[in-house]
Amino acid sequence: MVREKDVCWEYAEKLDGNKVRCKFCLRILNGGISRLKHHLSRLPSKGVNPCTKVRDDVTDRVRDIIGSKEPPSTKKHKLIETKALANISPEKLLLSVEPITPIARIFPPIGQAISSSGNNQENAERSIALFFFENKIDFGVARSSSYHQMIEAVGKCGSGFIGPSPETLKATWLERIKSEVSLQSKDVEKEWAMTGCTLIAETWTDNKMKALINFLVSSPSRTFFYKSVDASSYFKNLKCLSELFDSIIQDFGPENVVQVIVDNTLHCTGIVNHILQNYGNVFVSPCASQCINAILDEFSKLDWVNRCILQAQSISKFIYNNSPLLDLMKKFTGGQEIIKTGITKSVSNFLSLQCLLKHRSRLKVIFNSPELAANSAYTNKSQSVNCIAILDDNDFWRTAEECVAVSEPFLKVMREVSGGKPAVGTIYELLTRAKESIRTYYIMDEIKCKTFLDIVDKNWKNNLHSPLHSAAAFLNPGIQYNREVKFLGSIKEDFFRVLEKLLPTPELRRDITTQILLYTRASGMFGCNLAKEAIDTVPPGIWWEQYGDAAPTLQRVAIKILSQVCSTFTFERHWSTFQQIHSEKRNKIDKETLLDLVYINYNLKLARYLVSKPPEEDPLQLDDIDMTSEWVEEAENPSPTQWLDRFGSGLDGNDLNTRQFTAAIFGPGDNIFGL
């Protein structure tokens, strides 16, 4: 009976016991419909994580339901308070009112002091909204866990709470939280002796010819932002760049660094050769995410693929630029979007094609609905006629299906390597399987098959393939003991070359042949039932730690290799912030403060993305639709580029001056962090 009475059951699926599954984010909650309401309301209460996928109209509805069920004691208290206030003289009431702030003079609070406290929730939300708008804060901040922790903590302090002053934030809390972040990084450093670490270098050139390099360090537990360097004065000077990388490698310890990942701009012969020649145990690899993105980018530039994307964009642009039509679309899709914004332009294109295919039948219903037919302002438009023609064109839908079928295996590869987890042991197999999917799909079309495979092979050979990837694949038990894998023989030479690099002396290589045989033949502990069962359930590096004791030398090498990432990460960088750090107009004290702020900010984002992200979150998809993208904006001006698109192709020589961009959300005169 409770299920039938409570309207919130339409947003949940009842499971065994007292569990429910949210229909929006699919999270399973203990505690029944009550906890689901707090989950959907996105209010920080009762220890329930807020839903990241729920529609705003549902959130508003659930909040109204929660607000209407206040305990009688609360209502009685409000009544007594109202009567007491009614007996106070107007003069005393005016004296008791707090001083009006400048923002309150322009945007006065809802209601007056003598009104019921039923407006408290609305007043609080309104004040928070004004804070966001006045300070140009991204709305996505309201999804962060620290935001909800802040709201909950302030609520527990009661009405007398006074927030920290700017001086307290700068003098006390900045140093305290920086120390906490630094301590976390020190704890992670302890595992480097066993797992090693990967040094990541990201570069960017702004529109003022500044060449900025961000350095991060990654190991299985965490990835940390280390520092940002302005290399503008020597970005064409190989000697100075080499000294910079030397200093960073020395900071982490050459014996700990297994790999240096550089983006395509820095993947030039000079830097690579310097690192390889001076550090015998260190490998240099490209960013796998950029290389896969380059493959997808070339896919999207094929004439028939590009034509399909442009046709699909004409449909989405028409819908998203007409409010009544957009409302009608949301009605038929249940509030879902028909496009998606990815971390790059190419990813956005193929994700959006997938989304349009999913809503194919709904889109046809929308453009043939009585509601649209009654509105002559849209039915008579040439754009509307064009959209209907595209939606009724079976060739368009067949092409869209073909684009999705070809791109999805590579999107899958990109998801695996961009998730922030050690993936160096899987990149070789994943790309091999993606190529096989193309051969299978085009088994009757050799021309198209060759076209796509040539693109993949060119990027694999020129930009992506690394001996470390081959060695990691050979040491991955999920590949080594899989009888369907056919490429083990072709990567064996690379594996031996890597062993010679990591074990350079005969003493270190003692018994290594015997240990390799134990592993490849699954002898001893390698072949026990526990080891076999764990292959599909634990990461390869942990598998070696648990079951590789019979081959101690090979075990140490395997753990270090298989514990590495093979890509930079997918959340959007605010490069304008780093540009502000290196501004020549800043005094030394302000610059040091801003460096500390960026150190904290970047590492908190990394912690959220790599540690606290929901398992269902797609690492290739941004939370919100980019309303300036080519899928929405009708203007001729080019849209801002997602962060991964900013990386150019590999360079010859040492010239890094290839990427020039304007600041994103902040203008040239805007201060960052109030400095």
pLDDT tens readout for residues 15-73? 877 788 888 888 888 778 888 888 888 765 556 777 877 887 788 788 878 766 544 44
DSSP state of 301: H
User: What's 227's domain CATH number?
Assistant: 3.30.420.40
Provide the whole-model pTM. 0.73
The pLDDT-based confidence of 379 (bands split at 50, 70, 90) is low
Residue 217 lies inside a defined structural domain of this protein: yes
Max mean pLDDT range (21-25, 161-165, 269-273, 429-433): 429-433
Residue 658 lies inside a defined structural domain of this protein: no
Last residue of a domain, one of 596, 611, 626: 611
pLDDT at 647 over 80: no
Which phi and psi (to 5°) does residue 199 adopt? -90, 125
**Tally of domains within the chain:** 2
Structure confidence at residue 579 (pLDDT): 58
CA 563 to CA 198: how far, in whole Å? 9
pLDDT: which is higher, 663 or 116: 116
* Tokens linked to 210: 């500044």
Q: In 3D, which of 355, 223, 421, 237 has the Cα closest to residue 625?
A: 355
Residue 505 Cα distances to 13, 254, 255, 605, angstroms:
62, 18, 15, 42
Burial (0-12, 13-18, 19+ Cβ within 10 Å), 99: exposed
Residue 33 lies inside a defined structural domain of this protein: yes
CA 616 to CA 501: how far, in whole Å? 39
Last residue of a domain, one of 19, 37, 67: 67
Could you give the 3-state DSSP secondary structure of residue 258?
strand
What range defines the domain where residue 25 resides? 7-67
Tokens 């090498």 sit on residue: 557
Taking residues 634-653, what's their average pLDDT?
A: 45
CA 312 to CA 631: how far, in whole Å? 8
Structure confidence at residue 657 (pLDDT): 31
Q: Find the DSSP H helices in 467-607.
A: 467-475, 477-480, 488-502, 512-520, 529-534, 540-547, 552-562, 575-581, 588-607
Q: Identity (one letter) of the amino acid at 450?
A: K
Instruction: Name the average pLDDT for the chain.
Output: 80
Residue 53 lies inside a defined structural domain of this protein: yes
Residue 597 lies inside a defined structural domain of this protein: yes
Residue 215 lies inside a defined structural domain of this protein: yes
Residue 294 lies inside a defined structural domain of this protein: no
pLDDT single digits (tens) 257-315: 999 998 766 656 788 899 999 999 999 998 899 899 999 999 999 999 999 999 999 99
pLDDT at 111 over 80: no
Residue 231 lies inside a defined structural domain of this protein: yes
pLDDT at 378 over 90: no
Taking residues 371-383, what's their average pLDDT?
A: 73
* Tokens linked to 348: 């956005």
Last residue of a domain, one of 580, 611, 642: 611
